[in-house]
Chains A and B, each alone.
Chain A
Amino acid sequence: VAVGGDEATMRVLETLGAEWLTGHEIAARLRERRASATAADVRLLPQLHRLEAAGILTAEWQEVAGVRRRRYRATQRATGTGSLKGSGGGAIHD
């Protein structure tokens, strides 16, 4: 998976930035941006796993407020390539 290689990847990276988010939280933010109920969830989890395999995202099981969830964050590779600038949903350069 190339960073910036497809729109779905770019949207995920834009949403994530340097924050740790669960798949559900990412989907919720994507829905807020695109106002599309279903498109955000369908294939999101496989997409996250694919990006993690490519080294674009990193994932960890984290416990926050007593709730253990798997959370994702963009890696240096994603933020350092010029595809993603800033954090927490910064600007994207296609």
Chain B
Amino acid sequence: MTDRPVAADYLATVAARLPLPAELRADVLAELADHVADSIAALEAEGLDRDRAERETLARLGRPEALAQDLIRAHQTRRRLFAGIGGGVYAAGGAWITGIIFGFSFATIATIVALAVGALLQSAFGVQVALQTSDQAVNTAIYGVVSWFAAFLAARAAVRASATRSRRPIPELARWWALLGTTLLALWVLVGLTMPLNPPAVVVECAIPFAFAAGALVGIERPGPRVRGVHVVAALAVVLVPVVALGAFVTHGAPSPVVIESGGALPNGMPDMHFEVVGLQATIEAPGGGGWWSTSDGGIQTDASPASAIDAGGWRDLRFEAWVTRSVGTEPVVVAVLDTTHRSPFAVVPAVREGDRYLGTFHFERYRGVGPWMIFFTGVAPDGRRYRLGGGGGGNSTFRGTVWDWLTAPAIP
């Protein structure tokens, strides 16, 4: 830099109007300062006094504002902007994949550690920990957390790559990436990403766009940590030694850590199924069927037959009802019984005759908060009361859809 106050003011004015990436900006300003110093020295050598040499030099460079504008235009071309956008998208894609791999590795290690800790607690203290679940939304939550890593790394990579290629300052680009990336990810999560969902999974999914925004904005100008070989070895030792030790413990046959609450029992020792909540059992011979199967569009279909025998009994308003159940008993004997806190079915579909059977199709995956259920076939008798004609087949479903589907879906009462 120059020791001349007027030249220093000139350079400061240019510097204040030069929004370029820090390293490039420093280079440009250093070159300009050298140019000014060399020019002043040359003019002095030609016989000008110092003040005149300085004034002449600055006059040759023109107004500092115009010079700064020209320098910006020279670097921030439209071609470089497109290169920055393309490079940013490419870098984000690569970083997303890296984040997914890193996230799943982390999740796998965390799962192994959790299993090992659960087995250790059970073995040492007799504490049983429920680590098994049939709720597929747990996998969505895990995938969502993994996506946090991916979104965070993708945003950082995108901002830095586009800043380098477009020669625009990181803060300026970070704001745009945060705005556009967060908006696109929010749209994707809201209406594009179809997954099994429960409340925690919805929260985790909704946080993905925020992870991207954080990646673009938080500490983006700070250089990343320098990772050396010794760090990698130390990290592996810290993580892997206990994991391997605990994992080895798990493989020595820890019993299944499932705890089920005990339910009420009938005098014969069988748990009370509470089917009376649905309705009285019809006295006619129970129709066949009652099983269920999945349809190609994710529904659950059930049937009752023979339809001719049902019709002969004068039944009307035939329908299939789905009720919430809960599990009672202790492993290995666990029985699903009706959850008597629910006094009505959560879903009802009319029974449609097809040949000599009645069919009904449920879409439990469209009910918010759905879990274990049981299906009954019911009808209204000539006495005007609704009876249980059959059924009792049960299963377990998880809501499946986008976050928007979740927000607008009917909830289990």
A50 to B59, CA, bound (A): 22
A42 to B70, CA, bound (A): 10
Q: Cβ of B60 and Cβ of A40 under 8 Å apart?
A: yes
* A57-91 vs B, Cβ < 8 Å mask (1 yes, 0 no): 00001000000011000000000000000000000
Q: Cβ of A46 and Cβ of B34 under 8 Å apart?
A: no
Q: Cβ of A24 and Cβ of B77 under 8 Å apart?
A: no
By Cβ-Cβ distance, the 3 closest A-B pairs, closest first, are A41-B60, A46-B70, A24-B38
With A42-B60, A69-B34 as known contacts, state yes or no: A27 contacts B39, CB within 8 Å.
yes
A45 to B70, CA, bound (A): 9
* B236 surroundings in chain A (CB, below 8 A): none
CB distance from A35 to the nearest CB of B (A): 14
Q: Cβ of B42 and Cβ of A24 under 8 Å apart?
A: yes
* B77 surroundings in chain A (CB, below 8 A): 53
Could you write out 5 A-B pairs with CB less than 8 Å apart?
Answer: A37-B56, A40-B60, A43-B67, A45-B67, A49-B28
* B27-69 vs A, Cβ < 8 Å mask (1 yes, 0 no): 1101110110011001000000000000011011110000100
With A28-B42, A53-B75 as known contacts, state yes or no: A22 contacts B34, CB within 8 Å.
yes
* B73 surroundings in chain A (CB, below 8 A): 46, 50
* A41 surroundings in chain B (CB, below 8 A): 39, 57, 60-62
Q: Cβ of A38 and Cβ of B31 under 8 Å apart?
A: no
Q: Cβ of B75 and Cβ of A49 under 8 Å apart?
A: yes
* A40 surroundings in chain B (CB, below 8 A): 60
Q: Cβ of B59 and Cβ of A38 under 8 Å apart?
A: yes
CB distance from B39 to the nearest CB of A (A): 6
A57 to B61, CA, bound (A): 21
A79 to B38, CA, bound (A): 28
Q: Cβ of A50 and Cβ of B74 under 8 Å apart?
A: yes
CB distance from A23 to the nearest CB of B (A): 5
Residue from the list A28, A43, A49, A70 in contact with B34, Cβ < 8 A: A70
- State whether the Cβ of B412 lies closer than 8 Å to any Cβ in chain A: no
A39 to B71, CA, bound (A): 17
* A23 surroundings in chain B (CB, below 8 A): 31, 35
CB distance from A57 to the nearest CB of B (A): 12
Q: Cβ of B71 and Cβ of A24 under 8 Å apart?
A: no
Q: Which partner residue on chain B sits nearest A70 by CB separation? A: B31
* B80 surroundings in chain A (CB, below 8 A): 53
Q: Which partner residue on chain A sits nearest B71 by CB separation? A: A46
Q: Which of B362-403 contact A (CB under 8 A)?
A: none
Q: Cβ of A53 and Cβ of B42 under 8 Å apart?
A: no
With A22-B34, A37-B60, A38-B60 as known contacts, state yes or no: A70 contacts B74, CB within 8 Å.
no
Q: Which partner residue on chain B sits nearest A47 by CB separation? A: B74
A45 to B66, CA, bound (A): 12
Residue from the list B35, B38, B56, B59 in contact with A45, Cβ < 8 A: B35
CB distance from B117 to the nearest CB of A (A): 56
Q: Cβ of B35 and Cβ of A46 under 8 Å apart?
A: no
A22 to B75, CA, bound (A): 19
Q: Cβ of A70 and Cβ of B27 under 8 Å apart?
A: yes
A61 to B39, CA, bound (A): 18
Q: Which partner residue on chain B sits nearest A61 by CB separation? A: B27
Q: Cβ of B61 and Cβ of A42 under 8 Å apart?
A: yes
Q: Which partner residue on chain A sits nearest B24 by CB separation? A: A49
CB distance from A27 to the nearest CB of B (A): 7
CB distance from A40 to the nearest CB of B (A): 7
A43 to B59, CA, bound (A): 12
Residue from the list B27, B28, B38, B57 in contact with A22, Cβ < 8 A: B38
Q: Which partner residue on chain B sits nearest A39 by CB separation? A: B60
* B60 surroundings in chain A (CB, below 8 A): 27, 37-38, 40-42
Given contacts A28-B42, A38-B59, A49-B71, 11 further A-B contacts (CB under 8 A): A22-B35, A22-B38, A24-B35, A24-B38, A37-B56, A37-B60, A38-B60, A41-B39, A43-B62, A45-B31, A53-B77
* B70 surroundings in chain A (CB, below 8 A): 43, 45-46
